[in-house]
Amino acid sequence: MRTANPVFNNGTYTQASGIGSMLGSVAARPATMTVQGTAWKTLYLLLITAASAAASWGMYKNNPGIIFPTMIGSLVGGLVAGFIMMKKPKIAGFVVPIFAFSEGLFVAAFSAAIVYYSPLASKIGGEPAAYAMMGQAAGLTIAIAAAMLVGYASGVLRLSNFMVKMIIVMTAGVGIYYVGAFLINMVFASGANEPVVPQLGWQSGPIGIGFSVFVVALASLNLLLDFQSIDQGVQRGLPKHYEWIGAFGLLTTLVWLYIEMLRLLAKLRSD
């Protein structure tokens, strides 16, 4: 079974899974990965992310020049964290909390970019409306995650191998589009009134809103992939430190879902 979490797709995961399967029953071994342990670690990481975002919010509001460098730095930090965990999964417990802190910086920076400095900012309706919109995005993110978790736990929502592959391909496609559009417009549309490649992530109107609805749905489906990879890790009796890796995947998807939900709400307000 493939997952959206690159660490779970790594050879280290396969090797650990085989070892866990040979050791016997998962429930009898406290040193193995559990759903409860992963859930508590995810909550811990979310608290770090929220605290980091709240503490840095004023910095971005008053200094727009640091927003873009912070977002780039946070994204690079996330890639480095993922690479380290692929190579050294045993130190995930040290790496992932640092990643969660950087994710908080990213969340605050991206939120400030949307509500204050994006093409949608002037139509949001002022600071009180912006704060309300961020609260709505966070609430909807939690609600979607809870609904997906209940659906998965009850067996109503399950993904076939074909669906897993499709979600991974579409997720990669969205990522390539975001990065490609940004780089092409930065190089070829600098100073121009119109971008060379339409930036649907920031575009309001029916097409832009439709694109955001699609990406929100895709991010929601990625939650199912995360639940599935965690469940599979538990069934295979992976070592305890893989709980941090499962929590890492969930945190990454939740942050993505929040960002896309915030963009969608901003588009709906500005349309």
Nearest to 74 by CA among 265, 202, 256: 256
User: Is residue 88 domain-resident?
Assistant: yes
Number of domains forming the structure of the chain: 1
> How much is the pTM?
0.82
In single-letter form, the type of residue at position 22 comes to: M
Q: What is the pLDDT of residue 198?
A: 64
Question: Which domain does 44 fall in, by range?
Answer: 11-16+29-270
User: Is residue 126 domain-resident?
Assistant: yes
User: Is residue 96 domain-resident?
Assistant: yes
User: Is residue 3 domain-resident?
Assistant: no
Surface-to-core class of residue 236, CB atoms within 10 Å of its CB (0-12 exposed, 13-18 middle, 19+ buried):
buried
User: Is residue 4 domain-resident?
Assistant: no
Alpha-carbon distance of 161 to 159, in angstroms, equals 7
Q: What is the pLDDT of residue 189?
A: 60
Task: Measure Cα distances from 216 to 62, 85, 137, 148, 258 in Å.
Answer: 29, 27, 11, 13, 9
Nearest to 19 by CA among 6, 3, 31, 4: 31
User: Is residue 21 domain-resident?
Assistant: no
Structure tokens at 25: 């029953």
CA neighbours within 13 Å on the CB side: how many for 114?
30
Q: What is the pLDDT of residue 29?
A: 53
Block means of pLDDT (10 residues each) for the chain, length 271 residues? 48 44 43 88 93 84 79 82 82 87 88 74 66 87 92 84 90 87 70 61 78 92 92 87 89 92 84 61
User: Is residue 112 domain-resident?
Assistant: yes
Q: What is the pLDDT of residue 27?
A: 45
User: Is residue 5 domain-resident?
Assistant: no
Please state the separation of Cα 196 from the chain's center in Å.
Answer: 27
